Structure 1
């Protein structure tokens, strides 16, 4: 975990022998009816707590089950940047004392390996934002570590 220019940054990295196209297909297929694999209940509960006034069907949203596009909503995220088959950046729509992004990127590794990198970026808003980051750091690390493992497992790693 690092702090850079007022942002908190936490990264999960995994190396896989799965092909880039296979991993990207899983990344681009996240959310909507497919959910978020073993972390789905945690993400869903967090978003539901944020939007108690919305029906559960509004928490799940994906226009195309296989492809994403910049500006589209993906459950409780907005697709902010998309560079297939190597990078996806999501911006959180969940209310919190600050702003959050989830960045997933794929990089060629040594030999026939692929580096899967998942980076959480948080810009805190005041003291409440700093307290939120530190209070949620351990749960976020558990959830995001599991998500990384799930993505690679579903890609055939």
Structure 2
């Protein structure tokens, strides 16, 4: 049994080497199209919201993130760098976390949400990845409009 250990270790190492070697460069991957638009809550622009775009079945890529500005406008950053997303359908999670004084959580605040004094302002039907039913279609030349009630 111990005699097989080095061969198993060599096999695992070889597989890991091949997986890393087949990862491709950051320049390869699905074609990205401009992905941006506006998010609104009850018809009003939703400022400082974090949006997470997860590809739905049949859509390639790994998704992306965005943060809305004061006017609710956003541009999606692809998960592997660059801006935009592969064309297709996405499930979107929308979160707006504010500090106790009402200011938005800083973009570079990397604290665990459990440890942060910030509180989620949106219901779980938008802010919980497992419960969100918000959908977006990304197509070339078409802005994304997300309307939350």
Give TM-score scaled by structure 2 length.
0.27
Q: Which has the higher helix share?
A: 1
Give TM-score scaled by structure 1 length.
0.26
Where relative contact order (Cα < 8 A, 6+ residues apart) is larger, the structure is 1
